[in-house]
Chain A
Amino acid sequence: MSGAQTKFGALEGVTFREMFAEAVEKATTQANIPKKEIEAVFVGTFNPEMLIHQGHTAPLLLDYAGLRGLPATRHEAACASGAVALRAGIMAIESGLYDTVLVGGAEKMTSVSTNKATEALAAAADDEFESGVGLTFPGVFALAAVAHMQRYGTTEEDMARVAVKAHKNAASNPLAHFQKEITLEKAMTPKYVAWPLKLFDCSPISDGAAALVLASDKKAKQYTDTPVKIVGSGQASASMNLSGRTDLTSFEASVAASRIAYKMAQVTPKEIDFAVVHDCFTIAEIIAIEDLGFFKPGEGAKAVREGITAKDGSKPINPTGGLKAVGHPVGATGVKQAVEVYRELLGAAGANQVPKHNIGLMHNFGGTGATCVVNIMRRSDA
């Protein structure tokens, strides 16, 4: 029905609840949906306990945003917190219990030191069996990168190209954390975090919030002539630790969640006009576009090299800049991805508009890839 995000970045002087309230305000006023019509709220936040020493965040956020009294539930699935909140909203509408719900996500990450934020992020990995030997979060994706490199010949330069593309797209996105293009040479700066991943392969630590309003088919007609329909939704999980996976060149939860979503939407990967995928690290985008069935296993890097995934390519991926350059306030990300797909579908993405925009897909994935949500959205007149 409607969706909005705050600016992402290091938002000094703006607190957690203020960001959330701003996103709610934008998402409701933009669509002329009175707050009193909202019947329930589903909120994605990842680890405010460690980041801002705050638990029980759903009623806290609602209270400040003028939604006091409504059923308020917080959802957590690491980096997929936003998308699991969105799925809860979808299920609440589909069950017939509510006609109008709000889904929001927020994370305040920059009020602690980078070390503390990294520690909070590390809580999304298996502490007893994996983090305990010193495997870090970037390390998890580095394991996937090395497997992909040695099996398919993917290179560090291929990964750097994903970063260059993200920064290029985000340069025209006023809400992005980084609005500056980078050269391939800069992206290749050998500042290793977890070899082969370098600084520019990693998404940043950001603050931000996003919100959207979902309505039943019947109710949607009262609000707008141009609703966007969520036609397919899939969720799957996988082993938390990488040692529990049989193939490190693919994330099995992405494959499973997308197949469920395609089946529900009755579309094929080929019919998807553009996608917003979870590029927490550059290698994650290369693997995601293979797992989602857009390219054959091992051919993701080639697609990036040939410009197929560029904003004006035949399969635009992350046309607004991805997590890599827009930023990754963990709980907000999944909601923001849906907002981006929504705006692209309506043709309202400005300088970041993709040429063909009938059907779009969002892919949000949690932690080590142990949770994945894929939603397929379609313009109602398409």
Chain B
Amino acid sequence: MSEQPTIEAYKKNIQEGKFKAFKCSKCKAVIAPPLSTCYNCGGTKMEWTTVSGKGMLVSFTIIYVAPDEFAAEVPYIVGIVELEEKTRVTARLMGFDPNKPQAIKIGTPLKLDYEKGKSGKTYLAFRPA
């Protein structure tokens, strides 16, 4: 994992079910989605890191009206998830009932997973831990 991380490789890793985040070489802050510059220390040298896969739900929505690409998948849930490593990603939520949104609570512990969409794409996803 020594090569300079790129956005293209970040996206490819998700497609292959092998999520990796960026890590600031200077202060070791974990960064995802990618940035060229670390907001913690200003460092600009990045390396790859694996993550624990543990996270927490920050917010969510249930999509009913979607662009053509995702229309066959509605209703589906999109959430913001804070990883244990303190960075936040936008991902699909699995293992919740989209017809019972009141039952979904911010703060719920989650674990990393992947969802294969009808669009043919693999999405970064999380399910209850």
B7→A135 contact, CB < 8 A: no
The answer for the CA separation of A122 and B92 in the assembled complex, in Å, is: 18
Please, which residue of chain B has its CB at the minimum distance from the CB of A119? B67
In the assembled complex, B29 has its CB within 8 A of some CB on chain A? no
B92→A133 contact, CB < 8 A: yes
On chain B, the residues within 8 Å of A145 by CB distance are 61
In the assembled complex, B80 has its CB within 8 A of some CB on chain A? yes
Beta-carbon contacts under 8 Å, A240-285 to B: 241-244, 248
On chain A, the residues within 8 Å of B70 by CB distance are 134
In the assembled complex, A115 has its CB within 8 A of some CB on chain B? yes
Question: In the complex, how many angstroms separate the beta carbon of A80 from the nearest chain B beta carbon?
Answer: 22
* Residue from B61, B98, B117, B121 in contact with A142 in the complex, judged by beta carbons closer than 8 Å: B61
On chain B, the residues within 8 Å of A196 by CB distance are 61, 101
On chain B, the residues within 8 Å of A143 by CB distance are 59-61, 78, 80
Binary contact track B20-37/A, C-beta < 8 Å → 1, others 0:
000000000000011000
Question: In the complex, how many angstroms separate the beta carbon of B120 from the nearest chain A beta carbon?
Answer: 13
On chain B, the residues within 8 Å of A194 by CB distance are 61-65
Beta-carbon contacts under 8 Å, A114-137 to B: 115, 118-119, 122, 128-130, 132-136
Q: For chain A, which range describes its interface: under 10, 10 to 19, 20 to 34, or 35 or more residues?
A: 20 to 34
Question: In the complex, how many angstroms separate the beta carbon of B45 from the nearest chain A beta carbon?
Answer: 20
Question: In the complex, how many angstroms separate the beta carbon of A188 from the nearest chain B beta carbon?
Answer: 15
* Residue from A122, A128, A138, A195 in contact with B101 in the complex, judged by beta carbons closer than 8 Å: A195
A150→B61 contact, CB < 8 A: no
A147→B106 contact, CB < 8 A: yes
Please judge, given known A-B contacts A129-B90, A133-B123, whether A193 and B65 are in contact too, CB under 8 Å.
yes
On chain A, the residues within 8 Å of B90 by CB distance are 129-130, 133, 135, 241-243
Beta-carbon contacts under 8 Å, A148-203 to B: 150-151, 192-197
Please, which residue of chain A has its CB at the minimum distance from the CB of B73? A134
* Residue from A119, A135, A147, A192 in contact with B58 in the complex, judged by beta carbons closer than 8 Å: A147
Please judge, given known A-B contacts A118-B67, A192-B64, whether A134 and B59 are in contact too, CB under 8 Å.
no
A139→B61 contact, CB < 8 A: yes
In the assembled complex, A52 has its CB within 8 A of some CB on chain B? no
In the assembled complex, B105 has its CB within 8 A of some CB on chain A? yes
In the assembled complex, B51 has its CB within 8 A of some CB on chain A? no
Question: In the complex, how many angstroms separate the beta carbon of B75 from the nearest chain A beta carbon?
Answer: 8
Pick the 7 closest A-B CB pairs, nearest first. A142-B61, A195-B62, A129-B33, A243-B88, A134-B70, A147-B59, A192-B64
Q: Offer 28 A-B interface pairs, CB within 8 angstroms, sorted by A.
A: A115-B67, A129-B89, A130-B90, A133-B78, A133-B124, A134-B69, A134-B92, A134-B117, A134-B123, A135-B63, A136-B63, A136-B65, A142-B61, A143-B61, A143-B78, A143-B80, A144-B59, A146-B61, A192-B64, A194-B62, A195-B64, A195-B101, A196-B101, A242-B80, A243-B33, A243-B88, A244-B33, A248-B80
